[in-house]
Chains A and B, each alone.
Chain A
């Protein structure tokens, strides 16, 4: 079985043909290769704080099955996760924990804010003394998914939007000098 345009499928590169028309290798750029790998094996952190987490579990289970898009390996430790789906209300007591989890994740790392609670505080925006008004006040967010709660389809759409975002990014950038981040 050789490399053909058909089985290249979504791979971002071109099949190289020699003079005899044989296709033995393909050409691409290292950015595209890394982004292709990263976006298709995003490992989410199992982190759910309230009702939205139920929809997240549903998206992971057989009926919606997010493994179809490369998210299957949900990790219970931030050291092995690439993606944190903030599914649920974050209150002020939980905020330092979320920040520490984010700091413990290895680069590159991505954040999805799922549900109106994590976008703005949602139903608790006006009256609550304890709910953080948007998770982006604590950690940087890549994709926002509105809804209360968003359906699993919406979560899948958001995760695919994140994949599209990763595919367009520069995989290798010279890092700015590392400073110790405050918790």
Chain B
């Protein structure tokens, strides 16, 4: 599907989603509650067939977090970016998508390690890059420690 076709398809099937205008990947913003059903349908519907999660990451916007999923289809060669906003900055929690793409296990470990976002129903959520004894989440905008001389 082309970018326009993909957008039209999503508008019909997921009318509550919002869209962002971008020059490269089409971006869709989804509510937390709808995330799993949207991703599951994108993966399983034969017309979209997003079988590859090639990136999952997070961004700290100081007032909220944004978790971002980059999807691709190896049959149709189309891409899609799905964003979900997390307003709770103190205890950010989100459903894990490990049941849909196995690749999410390590992505989510890394996001937990660096941003402190907890993924519910994740098979083994742990610190993966930093040591177990590490305090804090370094990629948060308000993180500081003695090593950082100019914050």
**A: which residues have CB within 8 A of B?**
92-93, 125-131, 133
- Main SS class of interface, A: loop
Number of A-B pairs, beta carbon distance below 8 Å: 23
Interface centre among A92, A130, A131, A133 (most CB of B within 10 A): A130
- Main SS class of interface, B: loop
User: Complex: how many Å from CA A133 to CA B138?
Assistant: 17
User: Complex: how many Å from CA A129 to CA B150?
Assistant: 11
Instruction: Find the B residue at minimum CB distance from A93.
Output: B131
Task: Contacts A128-B148, A130-B138, A131-B147 known; list 12 others, CB within 8 Å.
Answer: A93-B129, A93-B130, A93-B131, A126-B150, A127-B148, A128-B147, A129-B145, A129-B147, A129-B148, A130-B130, A130-B147, A133-B147
The interface size bin for chain B is 10 to 19
Provide 19 A-B residue pairs closer than 8 Å at the C-beta atoms, listed in order of the A residue. Answer: A92-B131, A93-B129, A93-B130, A93-B131, A125-B149, A126-B148, A126-B149, A126-B150, A127-B149, A127-B150, A128-B147, A128-B148, A129-B138, A129-B145, A129-B147, A130-B130, A130-B147, A131-B147, A133-B147
B14: which A residues are within 8 A, CB to CB? none
Instruction: Find the A residue at minimum CB distance from B149.
Output: A126
User: Complex: how many Å from CA A92 to CA B130?
Assistant: 9
Top 7 A-B residue pairs of the complex, sorted by shortest distance between their CB atoms: A129-B138, A126-B150, A126-B149, A129-B147, A129-B148, A93-B131, A129-B145
B147: which A residues are within 8 A, CB to CB? 128-131, 133
The answer, yes or no, to whether B9 is at the interface (CB within 8 Å) is: no
Q: Mark B120-137, 1 if CB is under 8 A from A, else 0.
A: 000000000111000000
